[in-house]
Amino acid sequence: MPRITPDQAGGTNVCAFLDMLAISEIGAKLLASSDDGYNVLVGGNLFASYADHPNIFNAKLNSTAAGRYQLLNRWWVPYKQRLGLTDFGPLSQDRVAIQQIRERNALGDITAGHFESAVSKVSNIWASLPGAGYGQHENQLDQLRAAYVAAGGTLA
């Protein structure tokens, strides 16, 4: 579950979408063996402090992605400033993910239950989503829809 409340996030569907993103990016097994994905580095290792983005470069994967939504450090820095965040804790990670969704004009689709449209709009942010096109493993839309519904999301 995201740490942000449905009231803070803009509704239950937004929280369910965040859960779906975490399953897509992290995987259910690693979510269960970590702090719900909030302390996961790209590649599966864990980090210990939420004081700031860990900014640990994984040379094999050419990435600094970290956290529940696998945010790159280069994106964390401006979001931290823009949103006035003081740490890389779970609530901060949730807020950044929602801001990224907002910037792709997908929040309305999510709240209205237009799941496929929302996924399509944000697929260029998260490499694990169908249609992302980053050459990494992309999850199937049916699996992600099922995860979204299991997390309490509703479909139009």
Q: Which residues are catalytic?
A: 25
As a whole number of angstroms, the longest Cα–Cα distance in the chain is 42
In the structure encoding, which two tokens stand for residue 117, read together? 């449209």
Rounded CA separation 21/19 (Å)? 5
Hey, how many other C-beta atoms are within 10 angstroms of the C-beta on 60? 8
